[in-house]
Amino acid sequence: MSQPLIEVEGLKKYFNLGRGNILKAVNGIDFSINEGETLGVVGESGCGKSTAGRTILRLYEPTAGSVRFNGTDIYKLSPSKMKAMRRDMQMIFQDPYASLNPRFTVTDIIGEALDIHNMAGSRKERKKRVEELLDLVGLNPDHATRYPHEFSGGQRQRIGIARALAVNPKFIICDEPISALDVSIQAQVVNLLQDLQKRLGLTYLFIAHDLSMVKHISDRVAVMYMGRVVELAPSEELYANPLHAYTKTLLSAIPVPDPEIEANKKHILLNDEAAGPIHSKDGAPSQDLFNLDNSQLVEVSKGHWVAM
């Protein structure tokens, strides 16, 4: 067994919405990720996946809890030590359009990541490193002087991946990296991420809406609901043997290739009128259908944890 690279314990992130309203976006999550492993995180929109990811990278200060990277509690690091730590922990974003500065060339975008950590070296070395990175993600190094709008969606996401890789990170949070892409190119980007993981020994936290997307790339999957992890298990096990009612609803939302089965399948709707809206107008969760308040994760079989 490899050692945990990331250990998340009792992590909470609340947002103060003003007038005494507190939004508990992440409300006490625990998990660890081993070196070289991919942990998938799934759950519907607004359940706190991105907030959890950002808090784990300390882009947000936590409300409570700890995150250890290789045994070091990152929230205890001074700003300069934290800056150094950021080299090891990077993020790839959902929207390859919004996350790249349209006025920067590819060289500027990737080079900026190098500059922040004083890794650029001379002009010539910087140029060479950018070209290497483009090659690594399957882009033509000759296109380094082009702007983001000159690339397709899939190519832009490759630029985002090259930017994340520029500083030689060990851990990357992939926040829905393929959701915004055409279905036809999603698999290519997933394959690239898997290939890079093998070649560079990367550890991933891979965020997605639905289980079908993370099943193949993840070793284990954590299911989030309203700021908590309700189930965590090896991917195959979670698929074959979902135990929490919410995981079952998520699985029931995956389309079945056989149209007859699909037509007859009973979908469990979380948002139907009988159940009432689970989000209020401002997007804040207002109703907990699964009553998680006093629940905790229990290991029901080896490596399979369920909130009870």
> Which of Mg ion, ligand ATP, none does 58 bind, CB closer than 5 to 8 A by kind?
none
> Which of ligand ATP, Mg ion, none does 46 bind, CB closer than 5 to 8 A by kind?
ligand ATP
Cα(65)–Cα(75) distance, integer angstroms: 9
Residue ranges binding Mg ion (CB under 5 A) = 50
Of the pair 38, 50, the CB lying nearest Mg ion is at 50
Cα(186)–Cα(190) distance, integer angstroms: 6
Of the pair 43, 65, the CB lying nearest ligand ATP is at 43
> Which of Mg ion, ligand ATP, none does 136 bind, CB closer than 5 to 8 A by kind?
none
Of the pair 28, 43, the CB lying nearest ligand ATP is at 43
Least distance in angstroms from the C-beta of 115 to ligand ATP: 27
Of the pair 261, 269, the CB lying nearest ligand ATP is at 269
Least distance in angstroms from the C-beta of 202 to ligand ATP: 22
Least distance in angstroms from the C-beta of 276 to ligand ATP: 17
> Which of Mg ion, ligand ATP, none does 284 bind, CB closer than 5 to 8 A by kind?
ligand ATP
Least distance in angstroms from the C-beta of 225 to ligand ATP: 10
> Which of Mg ion, ligand ATP, none does 38 bind, CB closer than 5 to 8 A by kind?
none
Least distance in angstroms from the C-beta of 217 to Mg ion: 17
Residue ranges binding ligand ATP (CB under 6 A) = 15, 23, 25, 43, 45-51, 209, 283-284
Cα(20)–Cα(278) distance, integer angstroms: 20
CB 83 within 8 A of CB 122: no
Least distance in angstroms from the C-beta of 21 to Mg ion: 21
